[in-house]
Chain A
Amino acid sequence: MDPLTNQPAFGAALTVAVYALFTLLYRRLTHPLVHPVFLSIVTLIVVLLAADIPFEDYDRGGSVVSFFLGPAVVALAVPLYRNRHEVRRHFLPIAAAVLVGAVTAVVVTLLLARLLDATDVTLRSLAPRSVTTAIAVGISEELAGIPSVTAGVVVLTGVLTAVVGVPFLVLIRVRHSIAVGLAMGTAGHGVGTARAMEESPLIGAVAGLAIGLHGLVASVLLPLLVPVLVS
């Protein structure tokens, strides 16, 4: 298999093909559980395990695809700019709500994980769960967690938010577009934002804003809060 799976084209082709397939399915069914990001990740993990393909081989192509996350995150400024009046009008509630979300994330996560006998290092790695990967990894290092474990739970959180976020917000009767977008971005960072983008450009833009604000708040707050919560 090596000469095949070694090629960057292998991981890239597999990723795009699987995602394209599930996007078609999603268009037909539009059930939250068939979300293409979630199903593609699960399918690819199963394929790699079943065919015994090392992640490093897959990621030669995978990293080519995810490279474009860089310009894509920069591009979030465009929907944000188009909705600037709406965002500016609500800036104070937005900033305050991200702070509420950031505190809720670390307090609920750590208290519950402690109750369920998580080890100290698991707790420290779990703390920045809702923060965007690059910032979460930096915070994890500072907290003496395991950065690669943090990266894993960050993805898990994002995928979970993408799948359950919108139906859950509908269930608890949240209607305000800014509330939906901010909740999706604060809870599920980029993956939540990708899902929010499907709802409307305003919801996606606000979610994108929440990624940045949550990252900022968490970088300051977590090094202060986590030592208290895990001790």
Chain B
Amino acid sequence: MNPGATPENGRVAEPSETQDSSARPPNNRRLGARHLEGLAILLLIWLVGEVAMELAGLPVPGSVAGMVLLLVGLSSGAVHLSWVESAADTILLYLGLLFVPPGVGLIVHLDLLRAQWLPITLSTVVGTLAVLAATAWAVELLAARSDGEGRKA
């Protein structure tokens, strides 16, 4: 009907048109499959991380253990980057959103926050700034030194 409709001219194909053999639907289908494949791998690795930490009796969250597992998998070649990268990039776009419900959970502690607001808020604010500065300065100091040695060597 409209053979000139390409992604370049910014025109979104109507559902009826997608049945034509243009390049878009197979691409979408392939991307969808990639996303699902990646999500399945991420969920599976999370599960392995949770079970491993429970069996080991460590207080480390299974998801953090899973991050290490996936890194080892990618580095060793057991997991190909292309299997997980589209799902990982997509989910990380929404990382902020995922922290909103736990944040709303603060509502349960409003009484304690009110009763001890001064020590809690002041130590949190000053403590956070101190950690930011101390960590960042430590990296800059130590990385600059190792860079310098690297160049000399």
Contacts and interface: CB of A to CB of B under 8 A. Distances in A.
25 contacts: A15-B97, A36-B96, A37-B96, A37-B97, A59-B101, A66-B99, A71-B46, A72-B63, A72-B92, A73-B64, A75-B42, A77-B66, A77-B69, A92-B142, A92-B146, A100-B138, A101-B138, A104-B127, A152-B113, A155-B99, A157-B128, A160-B128, A183-B132, A183-B135, A212-B64
Given A74-B42, A134-B60, 9 more contacts: A40-B97, A45-B104, A74-B45, A75-B84, A116-B118, A118-B119, A149-B112, A174-B136, A194-B95
A89 B143 CA distance: 9
B interface SS class: helix
Contact of B59 (A75, A135, A208): A135
A45 B127 contact: no
B91 interface: yes
B124 A104 contact: no
B106 interface: yes
Contacts, number: 333
A75 B107 contact: no
B95 A72 contact: yes
A100 B134 contact: yes
B75 interface: yes
B72 to A, nearest CB: 9
A66 B46 contact: no
A96 B87 CA distance: 32
Interface string B111-153: 0110010111011111111111111111111110010001000
B17 interface: no
Interface string A65-103: 110111111111111111010000110111011101100
B43 A108 contact: no
A187 B125 CA distance: 11
Given A118-B119, A118-B120, A183-B132, A70 B143 contact: no
A91 to B, nearest CB: 10
Contact of B106 (A18, A37, A155): A155
Interface of B: 39, 42-43, 45-46, 49, 58-64, 66-71, 74-75, 81, 84-85, 87-89, 91-92, 94-109, 112-113, 116, 118-120, 122-143, 146, 150
A148 B107 CA distance: 11
A18 B100 CA distance: 10
Interface residues of A, number: 112
A46 B64 CA distance: 32
A183 B131 contact: yes
Contacts of B140: 174-176, 179
A66 to B, nearest CB: 4
A155 B67 CA distance: 21
A81 B75 contact: yes
Interface string A132-163: 11110011001000001101110111111110
Contacts of A15: 97, 100-101, 104
Contacts of A164: 128-129
Contact of A90 (B69, B75, B146): B146
